[in-house]
C-alpha cells in the first residue's frame, strides 16, 4: 500500500516512520487542494489559513498559474543557466519592473535568495564602498527569520534554529527590531547592509513601529549601506500592497523574494536591485543549477502578471480590514493582541486558555488549518482568493474554540 491509498492514521504513521522529525505537523494528510480549500485523504475539507506560509497567495492550483505550468511542461522544463531559454528574459524583465529595479537574479528557495543578497551586499561593500577585505558587517534584527542555511542561522536569535549547528558565520551584528537608536549605534565604517523583514512573520507577524522602516532607510543612506528587505513572506500582495515596505513609502536597495513567486507550484526566489548593486556579480561567482529554469520562469512570469493587475493587493487590503475587524472583536474574549496588515494576522491567545498548538489542533478539528508559532501565538494567512464568507466562518471558528477554552 502506498500513502495515496492510506487513510489518515496509517498515512501519518508511515510519514513518521520514513522521515527525519524536523517538523511537528498537524495530524492532517492532504490529498487535494483548490483555491482556499484542501481535502484530506478521508475526504474532510479544510480552509487553508496558512497558505504554505504565504507561498499560496493565489490559492491552490490557481487556473492561470496551472495553465502556464502545463504549457511549459509541454515545451521545456530545465536547461541550466549554461544556456539561455525563451522564458528567462520575460520573467526577469517583468519582475524587475514590478520591483522598480534594473536587474533580477532568480534562485529557488527563500534561503538561497537571502544567501544571494548577503553575497551581493558583501561584494558591493568591498568593490564599491571600499570596505577592507573580510571586514564586511551586515546588521540584522533580533527575532529575525531568513531561512535555515548555516550562514543564516548564524545570525538567528532563536536557540532552536541555532543551537548545535555551529561554528557560525561571522560578520553579522544584531539589534533589537524596531529600535532606531540601537540601529544608529550599530553602524560602523564596515557596515555594508541592513537586512530586515518589513514585518517579521515567524516572530509572530510583528509590525515595526510607524516610521521605523523610513528611519532604517535614512540611516542606510547616511552610512552608505544597502537596505535589503526580505519580503519573502510579507511581499507579493500579502499585506494589501505588492510589498509590505510600501506601507511606509520606503524603497529598499534590494528586494529578496520567494514563496508566492512560485505560485504554489515550484520553488522560485529572486533578488532584485539596481545595476550598481547586482551588477557586482561576474560569471562564475554565483549560481544555481535550477535557478531561473524554464518552468520556474513561466510560472513566475504568470505570478507577476497576476500582481500587475493590482487585483490581489486590493483584495488583500479590503478583506484584510474585515479579518482584522473580526479578530479585534475577540480581544479580551480569549485573544490578547492582534497584529498584522492585509490578509496576514498574528494573534496572541490568552495562555491561560490554550497554547498555540492546542488552538491550531482545535481549529483543525473545526476545518480550519493554521499554524502556531512561539508560545500562544498563531498566524492566519489565508490565500488572497479567500471570500468574505470564508473569512467570517474562520473567525467564528476561532471565537468558538476560545469560548470553549
Question: Mind telling me the catalytic residues?
Answer: 145, 230, 259
Check residue 334 for interaction with ligand PLP (CB under 6 A).
Answer: no
Among 31, 52, 53, 79, binds ligand PLP (CB under 6 A): 53
Query: Phi, psi (5° rounding) for residue 376?
Result: -105, 25
DSSP code per residue over 22-54: -----S--EEEEEBTEEEETTS-EEEESSHHHH
Residue with cell 488552538: 359
- Restricting to residues 264-293, name those near ligand PLP by CB under 6 A: none
Among 143, 230, 348, 372, binds ligand PLP (CB under 6 A): 230
Smallest distance, ligand PLP to C-beta of residue 149, A: 8
Check residue 401 for interaction with ligand PLP (CB under 6 A).
Answer: no
Smallest distance, ligand PLP to C-beta of residue 353, A: 27
8 Å CB contact between 90 and 247: no
Among 38, 111, 120, 354, binds ligand PLP (CB under 6 A): 111
Q: What is the dihedral of CA 162, 163, 169, 171, to 10 degrees?
A: 70
Check residue 262 for interaction with ligand PLP (CB under 6 A).
Answer: no
- Give residue number: closest CB to ligand PLP: 110
Check residue 204 for interaction with ligand PLP (CB under 6 A).
Answer: no
Closest CA to 245 of 296, 188, 207, 300: 207
Check residue 243 for interaction with ligand PLP (CB under 6 A).
Answer: no
Smallest distance, ligand PLP to C-beta of residue 230, A: 5
Check residue 145 for interaction with ligand PLP (CB under 6 A).
Answer: yes
Is the N-terminal amide bond of 167 cis, ω within 30° of 0? yes
Q: Which stretch binds ligand PLP (CB under 6 A): 103-111, 121-129, 171-179, 309-317?
A: 103-111
Smallest distance, ligand PLP to C-beta of residue 53, A: 5
DSSP, collapsed to helix, strand or coil, labels residue 188 as coil
Among 33, 35, 110, 262, binds ligand PLP (CB under 6 A): 110
Q: Packing angle between helix 294-308 and helix 63-73, nearest 10 degrees?
A: 150
Q: What is the dihedral of CA 317, 235, 179, 165, to 10 degrees?
A: 140
Judged by beta carbon, residue 147 or residue 178, the one nearer ligand PLP is 147
Q: For 41-180, where are the E strands, in sequence order?
A: 45-48, 103-107, 137-141, 172-175
Smallest distance, ligand PLP to C-beta of residue 259, A: 6
8 Å CB contact between 320 and 312: no
Residues of this chain that bind ligand PLP (CB under 6 A): 53, 109-111, 114, 145-147, 197, 201-202, 230, 232-233, 258
Amino acid at each position: 500500500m502506498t500513502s495515496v491509498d492510506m487513510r489518515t492514521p496509517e498515512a501519518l504513521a508511515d510519514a513518521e516512520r520514513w522521515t527525519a522529525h524536523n517538523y511537528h505537523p498537524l495530524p492532517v494528510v492532504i490529498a487535494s487542494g483548490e483555491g482556499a480549500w484542501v481535502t484530506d485523504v478521508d475526504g474532510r475539507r479544510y480552509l487553508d489559513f496558512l497558505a504554505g506560509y504565504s507561498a499560496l497567495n493565489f490559492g491552490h492550483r490557481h487556473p492561470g498559474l496551472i495553465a502556464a505550468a502545463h504549457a511549459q511542461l509541454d515545451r521545456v522544463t530545465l536547461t541550466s543557466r549554461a544556456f539561455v531559454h525563451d522564458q528567462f528574459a520575460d520573467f526577469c524583465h517583468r519582475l524587475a519592473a514590478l520591483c522598480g529595479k534594473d536587474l533580477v537574479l532568480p534562485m529557488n528557495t527563500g534561503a538561497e535568495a537571502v544567501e544571494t543578497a548577503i553575497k551581493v551586499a558583501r561584494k558591493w561593500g568591498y568593490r564599491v564602498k571600499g570596505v577592507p577585505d573580510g571586514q564586511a558587517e551586515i546588521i540584522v534584527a533580533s527575532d529575525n527569520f531568513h531561512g535555515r542555511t548555516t550562514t543564516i542561522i548564524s545570525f538567528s536569535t532563536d536557540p532552536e534554529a541555532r543551537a548545535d549547528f555551529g561554528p557560525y558565520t561571522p560578520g553579522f551584528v544584531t539589534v533589537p527590531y524596531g529600535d532606531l537608536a540601537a540601529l544608529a549605534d550599530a553602524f560602523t565604517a564596515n557596515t555594508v547592509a541592513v537586512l530586515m523583514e518589513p514585518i517579521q512573520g515567524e516572530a509572530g507577524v510583528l509590525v515595526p513601529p510607524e516610521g521605523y522602516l523610513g528611519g532604517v532607510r535614512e540611516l542606510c543612506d547616511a552610512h552608505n549601506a544597502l537596505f535589503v528587505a526580505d519580503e519573502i513572506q510579507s511581499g507579493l500582495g500579502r499585506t494589501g500592497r505588492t510589498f509590505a515596505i510600501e506601507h511606509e513609502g520606503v524603497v529598499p536597495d534590494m528586494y529578496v523574494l520567494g514563496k508566492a513567486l512560485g505560485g504554489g507550484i515550484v520553488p522560485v526566489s529572486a533578488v532584485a536591485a539596481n545595476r550598481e548593486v547586482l551588477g557586482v556579480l561576474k560569471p562564475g561567482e554565483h549560481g544555481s543549477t535550477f535557478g531561473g529554469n524554464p518552468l520556474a520562469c513561466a510560472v513566475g512570469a504568470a505570478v507577476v502578471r497576476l500582481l500587475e493587475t493590482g487585483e490581489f493587493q486590493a483584495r488583500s487590503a479590503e478583506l484584510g480590514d474585515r479579518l482584522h475587524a473580526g479578530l479585534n472583536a475577540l480581544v479580551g474574549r480569549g485573544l490578547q493582541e492582534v497584529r498584522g496588515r492585509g490578509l496576514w494576522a498574528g494573534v496572541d491567545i490568552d495562555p491561560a486558555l490554550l497554547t498555540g498548538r492546542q488552538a491550531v489542533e482545535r481549529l483543525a478539528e473545526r476545518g480550519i488549518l493554521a499554524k502556531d508559532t512561539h508560545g500562544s501565538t498563531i498566524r492566519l494567512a489565508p490565500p488572497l482568493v479567500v471570500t468574505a464568507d470564508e473569512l467570517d466562518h474562520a473567525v467564528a471558528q476561532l471565537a468558538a474554540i476560545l469560548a470553549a477554552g
